[in-house]
Amino acid sequence: MLAILAPGQGAQTPAMLAPWLELPGVADQLGELAEAAGVDLLAHGTVSDADTIRDTAIAQPLIVAASLLSFRQLLARLDATATDVADVAAGHSVGELAAAAVAGVLTDASAVALVGERARLMASAAAENPSGMAAVLGGDPDEVAAAIEAAGAWPANVNGGGQVVAAGTHEAIAALVAAPPAKARVVPLQVAGAFHTPLMASAGTAFAAVAASWEATDPVLPLLSNADGEVVTDRHDALARIARQITSPVRWDLCQATLAERGVTAVLELAPGGVLTGLARRTLPDVVRVAIKSPDDLGAAAELVAEHALSRTETPQTGRKGDA
């Protein structure tokens, strides 16, 4: 059983789309996605520097576009559809929108357009509320939670494997760095705001209104929610959860727990891959992992699909196996 995973913000690197543009049809696909997002993805994916693509309004559509380009290239290589190759889809933070496209809730262009709206609203909210994030590595979970609260911050990403990302004002992050939990390291992150916290309230409210009227369809694959790791089977619920995610913690630990419960034997992380397979190495150690970082990884991805994708007897309404 195979899961498709889509990475979140921070996975981007300069020139990460350059090798993909050497493949037939990718330039045209990227042009369509760039037009939908309202962002020059060609320039930002090939020549823009690290500081430029760190901008939330650029990073988010760039990452989702890279994930979807790599997924479509894999499907073309296999002459397959999403339901032929995957049993479940999940994405971390903004990656949940890429996963929604993989699961058939959104088209690729619609997903990137919606991400563009999300990114601009979150960048605006971050400008209104100067803030940041820091990774807390190790430590007792209860002590980590207490230290984050004592500093006046929030647990924005609960990633599992002893990793929590705290978010808050710059003062709160500085207080956490100054008083870390026992047996834990606190590493400030180069991000533009305290995502997945109440400091994103203006973005959350505005984006919820946008998402409520966005065209979508019900998933054709089980789609996991960042809110609680549960399977989402309704398009309206999927978009509502994606909207709430802006101000709520990403519970990637619960998503990984659901993957384990569903008997996933392999995870394939879409481009720009590496972060989520790294987390899976600690929390799902017996699961085979492949990350797509460049077109050179498509062969290994195709082999993974051949080895671990099972015949489908699930219905998208229930996400449960049939008796056959």
CATH number at residue 29: 3.40.366.10
Q: If you count them, how many residues does the chain have?
A: 324
* Residue 124 appears among annotated catalytic residues: no
Q: Which member of 44, 67, 92, 196 is catalytic?
A: 196
Sheet holding 266-269, edge to edge: 231-232, 223-224, 88-91, 2-6, 266-269, 288-291
The residue type at 31: G
> Does residue 254 sit within a domain?
yes
**Which of 265, 257, 189, 201 is closest to 224 using CA atoms?**
257
Q: pLDDT tens digits for 9-59?
A: 999 999 999 999 999 999 999 999 999 999 999 999 999 999 999 999 999
> Does residue 316 sit within a domain?
no
Total domains in the fold of the chain: 2
**Which of 175, 195, 181, 80 is closest to 129 using CA atoms?**
195
Dihedral pair phi/psi, residue 103, rounded to 5°: -80, 0
The reply to whether 202 and 269 lie within a common domain is yes
* Residue 131 appears among annotated catalytic residues: no
The reply to whether 107 and 217 lie within a common domain is yes
The reply to whether 97 and 242 lie within a common domain is yes
The reply to whether 95 and 31 lie within a common domain is yes
Residue partners of 206: CB distance under 8 A and separation at least 6: 121
The reply to whether 117 and 162 lie within a common domain is no
The reply to whether 112 and 204 lie within a common domain is yes
The reply to whether 82 and 136 lie within a common domain is no
Q: What is the CATH number of the domain that holds 160?
A: 3.30.70.250
Whether the predicted model's global pTM rises above the 0.75 cut? yes
> Does residue 247 sit within a domain?
yes
The reply to whether 102 and 139 lie within a common domain is no
The reply to whether 174 and 235 lie within a common domain is no
Q: pLDDT tens digits for 174-206?
A: 999 999 999 999 999 988 899 999 999 999 999
Burial zone of 164 (CB within 10 Å; 0-12 exposed, 13-18 middle, 19+ buried): buried
| Residue range(s) defining the domain that contains residue 241 | 2-126+198-308
Q: Is the pLDDT of residue 116 over 60?
A: yes
143 to 81, 148, 180, 208, 290: CA distances (angstroms): 45, 9, 10, 34, 33
> Does residue 317 sit within a domain?
no
The reply to whether 70 and 150 lie within a common domain is no
| DSSP H helices in the chain | 26-37, 41-46, 50-54, 56-78, 82-85, 95-102, 108-128, 141-150, 170-178, 201-212, 235-244, 252-261, 275-283, 298-308
Task: Give the bridge partners for 136, in sequence order.
Answer: 164, 186
Q: How many Cβ atoms sit within 10 Å of the Cβ of residue 288?
A: 16
Strand, helix or coil for residue 148: helix
Q: How many Cβ atoms sit within 10 Å of the Cβ of residue 3?
A: 29
Q: pLDDT tens digits for 255-285?
A: 999 999 999 999 999 999 999 999 999 999 9
Q: Which member of 48, 67, 70, 93 is catalytic?
A: 93
